Amino acid sequence: MSTFITMGESILKLKDVAVFQAENLVLNDISLEIKKGEFVYLIGKTGSGKSSFMKMLYGDLPLKQGDGTIVDFDLKTLRERDIPYLRRKLGVVFQDFKLLPDRNINNNLLFVLKATGWKDKSKMDAKIEEVLGKVDMKTKGFKFPHELSGGEQQRIAIARALLNDPELILADEPTGNLDPQTSVEVMKVLQDINKTGRTILMATHDYALILKYPSKTLKCDGNKVFEVIQRAV
């Protein structure tokens, strides 16, 4: 549990955190907080450390320096065996969707449910229908990933991220492979999910989306992460 006195609503809290890739320092002196229900952008140019920051949050890079809690997990004392439990409270969405190409959408989602401990077939079927409904893809469960457009695949990836009712969704350039119109559609899905109370941290290069859907914005620059006001973006 947290070494901080957490104010009930905190979903992510970092204090004096540094992020390393192997022995290389990527980010330093990060102190920030994200509260339940916020929609937060993470911007910064290529190589500034956005993906490394995300990886540290979902336990792919260890927290070696500073203190951090995320969805009530202490990142500093996180052990290898805790990571699956942390991931169940997070929904992670990637730029390249990462759907399994050898099975249809229903079976992609079933695979994740089984891997995260679900057993009851009728409950799993109901959950799959529920998450596909949330991204408006209820009729596509029998399609294979290659039979879907990029935007549809990303909707499925978002549905997959919702399977375990995560408290926080980490989206690493979710619109990076999509055309502007499809990006807006995927963004609307994320906005709707945010409106139901879920917290979202989204790394993006897409300034048009930020202008269209302004929200709190963090920037990676010069080994630091800091909040920027929209005009300064």
Ligand X SMILES: Nc1ncnc2c1ncn2[C@@H]1O[C@H](COP(=O)(O)OP(=O)(O)OP(=O)(O)O)[C@@H](O)[C@H]1O
Q: Which residues bind ligand X (CB under 6 A)?
A: 21-22, 24, 26, 44, 46-52, 220
Measured from the CB atom, is 61 or 193 closer to ligand X? 61
To ligand X, the closest distance from the beta carbon of 160 in angstroms equals 21
Largest CA distance in the chain: 51
To ligand X, the closest distance from the beta carbon of 63 in angstroms equals 15
Measured from the CB atom, is 19 or 161 closer to ligand X? 19
To ligand X, the closest distance from the beta carbon of 51 in angstroms equals 3
To ligand X, the closest distance from the beta carbon of 208 in angstroms equals 17
Measured from the CB atom, is 10 or 154 closer to ligand X? 154
Alpha-carbon span 59 to 79, nearest angstrom: 9
To ligand X, the closest distance from the beta carbon of 209 in angstroms equals 15
Answer whether 26's CB lies under 8 Å from 202's CB: no
CB neighbour burial string for 12-37, b if at least 16 within 10 angstroms, e if fewer: bbbeebbbbeeeeebbbebeebbeee
Torsion angle, CA of 186/188/193/198, rounded to 10 degrees? 100
Give the SS3 label for residue 27.
Answer: strand
In Å, how far from its chain's centre is CA 78? 19
Measured from the CB atom, is 26 or 171 closer to ligand X? 26
Report the DSSP pairing between strands 199-203 and 168-172: parallel
Measured from the CB atom, is 42 or 163 closer to ligand X? 42
